A and B are shown apart, each in its own frame.
Chain A
Amino acid sequence: MNNAATEAPASGEQHHGPLRRVQHFLHGNPAAVPIIVVILSVIFFSIAVGSRFYSAFALTLILQQVAITGIVGAGETLIILTAGIDLSVGAIMVLSSVVMGQFAMHYGVPGFVAVLAGLSVGGICGLLSGLLVSVVKLPPFIVTLGAWSVYGATTYIYSGNETVRSQDIDRVAPILHFLGNSFRIGNAVFTYGVVLMVALALALWFALNHTAWGRHVYAVGDDKDAALLAGIRTGRVLVSVYVVAGVICGLAGWTLIGRIGAISPQAGQMENIKAITAVVIGGTSLFGGRGSIIGTLFGALIVGVFSLGLRLLGTDPQWTQLAVGALIIIAVTTDQWIRKISA
């Protein structure tokens, strides 16, 4: 899980108090904080709530609830690693799901072709943003802010604002529900969407740390000019990152259909914000070059654990919202403290 954070601690550092050592360890392992927070919060809610929270069923339920954010967050992490940001990830996700629905229900193509069409549309959306960022050299924030509206509106126009019903999907193209299907191990219930999230995180972790492409992604995010001088084709790397992220959003769209049953152009409105939240809590720097996919996965889990935990404690929805917001700030503050070591 150790990623690009390999820079040596400030030289001549003489104090090695226990707090300092903890700080060093956390600095070297960017995913450690979110993992520790998840473990501590699970322990806290297990004591406070009891078996309704600390059960295989409830804990795997949290995984199901964060699967979509985890998947979209994986794509978002790639982009943020290049010092970019993608505000359109949620819109790409919903557009992909609507395309899958329209292809299967209205054009009568086999289900798996519809899925491929949805994933391709995700990739094309990513390609467009990537070209605008790398070739036209527009700031990613501006490009994806515009793209968010464009893809969102396209979704409404293309779907005619209509929802495809769950029963009809089951009848015509059950494969669209595939990622929502579940299997049990004892009382633990996993959906294939959860499996996809974990598999995707592992695959991207491998690609980022053990392939040339992955190291190039970090290099471009850390210092684009230096990367260029080092012979990395930064433009191609950038475009590839946006395309991969787009396809991942397509996968999230497929997962979304499985989760809510129906295909609704109104679903997932805030997914971009949720994904960015997960990335930031997961310890990835918004300035690029530092962070990890595994961190994002646990970042998403922190929000999931707190939402369910607080609900089970019986907190009013208003207070849950307040508490989750406060926790986000605390998590990021902790992260900033750890980073001070390299200052």
Chain B
Amino acid sequence: MGMKISWSKCILLSLAAGGALVSAPAFAKDVSACLITKTDSNPYFVTMRKGALKEAKKLGVHLKTYAGKYDGDNQSQVSAIEDCMADGVDGILITASAPSAIVPTVQKARKAGIMVIALDTTLQPASAADATFATDNFEAGKLDGEWAKKHLGQTKAHIAFLDLATSQPSVGVQRDQGFMKGFGIDIKNPNKWGDENDPRIVGHAVTGGAQDGGRKAMENLLQKSPDINLVYAINEPAAEGAYQALKSVGMQNRVTIVAIDGSCNGVQDVQQGVIGADAQQFPLRMAKRGIKAVKTYVDSGKKPSTSAGLNFTNTGVHLITDDPVKGVKSYSTKSGMKTCWGKLQ
């Protein structure tokens, strides 16, 4: 909290201290936190919430959870932060729907002495949060790209890009551009997709990260060029939708799909040949480390450090495939099954 403590806070603190002396002789501080995710419906965030609740229970942290109504719902997240401030929590963990628009509200919370940790998605700027636990999305895409390049070998590539949304949110752009980098495409402006002119790119289409969007996007790009032999999909649902589209025209065996997520369903998709390679991220790890960081901060005042060369703490990414290529480190689906997230249906 530093040296700047206002008078009102001083009074509050002394009152609290007095109260504590009177009421409870226990020294272990009561730690409370909030988890705010993008939605309550995406299994990825459901997993994150479950993991956070479990870790909080283990460490004795009081955790309340909030979520936006849909991906991109900044307003609900702003209200959630305000609720948590009113609740007087010690830490807020947030997966921001609008990484730059949320910053002023995050600053208010930090000024009130709350530790704010970004999970999964870095804020813009990343320094707006006290710490960030996230997958290196660019790296995840790059692994897919490197694998695809080697997997295709001498075959001329015709690539379909199934992206997230027209608003080009950072997580979607980083994965897309990472894939291009890994594949050896000149990415031009790394903060934007669509400005490249590599003839191997058939086109970009947006999926909303969902099955129905993935299917339609794939159908439209196939209509643009039936030569497509490689599909980059922003996530597993988009990849599964694309597979349905390919299957409906009997092309599923001629086209390689790569995706990012690493859920148990997705790893099974890799096993069954729906997806060629899948970059696995670890939402449980993000949630656990976030809760732990809040507890550590309250107990000792220590903040987590960032990974070398990055402005966030990298929680890692594994490439899962049963078709390994030379020079790209990967893990088998058998090993991927052990580290996957979400319940297998």
Question: Would B46 and A317 count as touching, CB distance under 8 A?
Answer: no
Question: Would B166 and A321 count as touching, CB distance under 8 A?
Answer: yes
Kindly supply a per-residue 1/0 record for chain B positions 210-227, scoring 1 wherever the CB is within 8 Å of any chain A CB and 0 otherwise. Answer: 111001100111011000
- Complex CA–CA separation, A58 to B158 (angstroms): 20
Question: Would B240 and A261 count as touching, CB distance under 8 A?
Answer: yes
- Complex CA–CA separation, A194 to B271 (angstroms): 33
| Residue in chain A with minimal CB distance to B204 | A317
Question: Would A259 and B215 count as touching, CB distance under 8 A?
Answer: yes
Question: Would B244 and A260 count as touching, CB distance under 8 A?
Answer: yes
| B206 contacts A by Cβ under 8 Å | yes
Tell me, rounded to whole Å, the shortest Cβ–Cβ distance linking A186 to chain B: 15
Kindly supply a per-residue 1/0 record for chain B positions 187-214, scoring 1 wherever the CB is within 8 Å of any chain A CB and 0 otherwise. Answer: 0000000100000000111101011100
- Complex CA–CA separation, A268 to B41 (angstroms): 13
B342 contacts which chain A residues (CB < 8 A)?
Answer: 162
A256 contacts which chain B residues (CB < 8 A)?
Answer: 212
| A211 contacts B by Cβ under 8 Å | no
Tell me, rounded to whole Å, the shortest Cβ–Cβ distance linking B41 to chain A: 5
B215 contacts which chain A residues (CB < 8 A)?
Answer: 259-260
- The winner among B208, B212, B272 for most chain A CB atoms within 10 A is B212
Binds B, one of A117-125, A214-222, A236-244, A304-312: A304-312
| A314 contacts B by Cβ under 8 Å | yes
- The winner among B219, B221, B343 for most chain A CB atoms within 10 A is B219
A168 contacts which chain B residues (CB < 8 A)?
Answer: 345
Question: Would B265 and A65 count as touching, CB distance under 8 A?
Answer: no
Question: Would B237 and A266 count as touching, CB distance under 8 A?
Answer: yes
| B154 contacts A by Cβ under 8 Å | no
A58 contacts which chain B residues (CB < 8 A)?
Answer: 223
- Complex CA–CA separation, A318 to B206 (angstroms): 9
Interface residues on B, range: 35 or more
- The winner among A156, A311, A314, A318 for most chain B CB atoms within 10 A is A311
Cross-chain pair count, CB within 8 angstroms: 94
A166 contacts which chain B residues (CB < 8 A)?
Answer: 240, 244
Partner of A165, one of B194, B204, B241, B265: B265
Question: Would A311 and B205 count as touching, CB distance under 8 A?
Answer: yes
- Complex CA–CA separation, A115 to B243 (angstroms): 24
| B42 contacts A by Cβ under 8 Å | yes
Query: Given the known A-B contacts A163-B265, A167-B272, A261-B240, are A307 and B220 also in contact in the complex, defined by CB atoms under 8 Å?
Result: yes
B40 contacts which chain A residues (CB < 8 A)?
Answer: 156, 161
B41 contacts which chain A residues (CB < 8 A)?
Answer: 156, 161, 265-266
| Residue in chain B with minimal CB distance to A264 | B211
| A328 contacts B by Cβ under 8 Å | no
- Complex CA–CA separation, A311 to B42 (angstroms): 28
| A61 contacts B by Cβ under 8 Å | yes
Partner of B46, one of A161, A167, A264: A161
A137 contacts which chain B residues (CB < 8 A)?
Answer: none
Tell me, rounded to whole Å, the shortest Cβ–Cβ distance linking A197 to chain B: 16
| B43 contacts A by Cβ under 8 Å | yes
Q: In residues 58-72 of chain B, which contact A (Cβ within 8 Å)?
A: 70
| Residue in chain B with minimal CB distance to A153 | B40
- Nearest 3 A/B pairs, CB to CB: A260-B211, A311-B220, A261-B244
Known: A52-B223, A261-B240, A308-B220. 15 other contacts (CB 8 A): A65-B219, A161-B40, A163-B43, A165-B265, A165-B268, A260-B212, A260-B215, A266-B41, A268-B212, A269-B70, A311-B221, A311-B223, A314-B203, A317-B206, A321-B166
27 chain-A/chain-B pairs, Cβ below 8 angstroms = A53-B223, A57-B223, A161-B40, A161-B46, A162-B343, A165-B345, A167-B272, A168-B345, A180-B244, A182-B248, A256-B212, A259-B244, A260-B241, A261-B244, A262-B211, A262-B240, A264-B237, A266-B210, A267-B210, A268-B212, A269-B208, A311-B203, A311-B224, A312-B220, A316-B204, A317-B166, A317-B205
Question: Interface residues, chain B, CB within 8 Å of chain A?
Answer: 40-43, 46, 70, 163, 166, 194, 203-206, 208, 210-212, 215-216, 219-221, 223-224, 237, 240-241, 243-244, 248, 265, 268, 272, 342-343, 345
Question: Interface residues, chain A, CB within 8 Å of chain B?
Answer: 52-53, 57-58, 61, 64-65, 105, 156, 160-168, 180, 182, 189, 256, 259-262, 264-269, 307-308, 311-312, 314, 316-318, 321
